[in-house]
Structure 1
């Protein structure tokens, strides 16, 4: 964690006073730790945080990858049965929309996919200072109806989750997900 923070601050001009940088450095480290803790709570298997500037723009975004395991349905006499049909799960995900949420479904590399997009409001009481644009992809694992791959993307754009930078970041994430391919070893 410290090496990530050090790399982020390596780009700061040397004439910036250390007493100005130390609080910022500590805050970045605190936020990184908090992001890792939240990803761990969500049972994430991967957490991606851009730590480099793109020109003069800091890309405020994250991707959390996790796996959702659904319990198998029981048979008629309590015996283990088949996993839930991915189409049934997709219908639940599609109908579970709340408020201003855009929901769609499709297929990626032969797997059923549900895509959800929304703007999550700021929640200062929970340490979330800015509204964020969130896009979630729920991808069924082929041949295993009880497993789903979940990729959750979040961006604050350039400060407004509906600004041009947020639109471009969401477009990039959609392109990334639509080129996703399964690989079995």
Structure 2
């Protein structure tokens, strides 16, 4: 068990941790990115059967690497911290899903804005309920104020978004740093239907993952 500190004496937040199944791999996006990408590709290529048709292997490898690097590049354009991908099939089903972790500075706007009150930022976020068809709710994660948003994002090839996706975002106030917010965004294309049983199950799974979220301090 980590030591307990009085609030005023707590070490600052330096990171986070969540529990994910072994099928998922983390790709850090600030440093160590290329090494993680190569490990994932090497593992995938090594799983190709020896008797696979040689004329199929080259195009398969090329497309797999293209898709992986495109996902990494898109997350990096958003200045994200980490990208998580299900690189191994689960129960023989290959999941079209991802988790992108980032952080942003969010402030309350308006003449009565107070930079030290995350609650007011959360209220502003929640007031957007229904503006884009999304669902917003609030709660607490590891002692921190959190806002949950669930919505559908349409495909936009111009922005590199090939398919529509169902997304769930947890926007969490970083303790002792009122303007800094941690964001964990899950996205899935389901089985082609964003409200099918697979999508519903994956959204519930991500909510369970976020229940394991803990801050890393010091």
TM-score of Structure 1 vs Structure 2, range by shorter chain: 0.7 to 0.9
Question: For structure 1, which segment, 133-142 or 151-160, has the greater mean C-alpha deviation from structure 2 after superposition?
Answer: 151-160
Q: Does structure 2 conserve the Cα–Cα contact (< 8 Å) formed by 1:72 and 1:84?
A: no
Q: Could you state the TM-score of these two structures normalised by the residue count of structure 2?
A: 0.73
* Structure 2 counterpart SS, 1:68: strand
Q: Could you state the TM-score of these two structures normalised by the residue count of structure 1?
A: 0.85
> How far off is 1:142 after superposition?
1.6
> How far off is 1:82 after superposition?
6.2
Are 1:31 and 2:63 counterparts? no
Q: Which contiguous aligned blocks of 4+ residues in structure 1 show a shift greater than 4 angstroms?
A: none
Question: For structure 1, which segment, 9-18 or 168-177, has the greater mean C-alpha deviation from structure 2 after superposition?
Answer: 9-18
* Structure 2 counterpart SS, 1:58: coil
The runs of 5 or more residues in structure 1 that have no matched partner are 74-80
Candidates 114, 127, 131, aligned match of 2:164: 131
Q: Does structure 1 conserve the Cα–Cα contact (< 8 Å) formed by 2:171 and 2:184?
A: yes
Deviation track 1:127-185 (CA, whole Å, cap 9, x = no partner) reads 33322110000000122101111101111122322221221111111011123222322
* Structure 2 counterpart SS, 1:88: helix
Q: Does structure 2 conserve the Cα–Cα contact (< 8 Å) formed by 1:94 and 1:104?
A: yes
Q: Distance in 2 between matches of 1:23 and 1:58?
A: 19
1:105-184 aligned within 5 A = 105-184=138-217
Q: Does structure 2 conserve the Cα–Cα contact (< 8 Å) formed by 1:131 and 1:160?
A: no
Are 1:22 and 2:58 counterparts? yes
* 1:35/1:111 CA distance change after superposition, 3 Å: same
Q: Distance in 2 between matches of 1:9 and 1:55?
A: 20
* 1:47/1:26 CA distance change after superposition, 3 Å: same
* Structure 1 counterpart SS, 2:202: helix
- Highest relative contact order (Cα 8 Å, sep 6+), 1 or 2? 2
> How far off is 1:4 after superposition?
1.4
Q: Does structure 2 conserve the Cα–Cα contact (< 8 Å) formed by 1:130 and 1:156?
A: yes
> How far off is 1:65 after superposition?
0.8
Q: Distance in 1 between matches of 2:39 and 2:212?
A: 31
* Structure 2 counterpart SS, 1:157: coil
Deviation track 1:74-105 (CA, whole Å, cap 9, x = no partner) reads xxxxxxx9625211111221123433211111
Q: CA RMSD of the aligned region, Å?
A: 2.2
> How many aligned residue pairs are there?
178
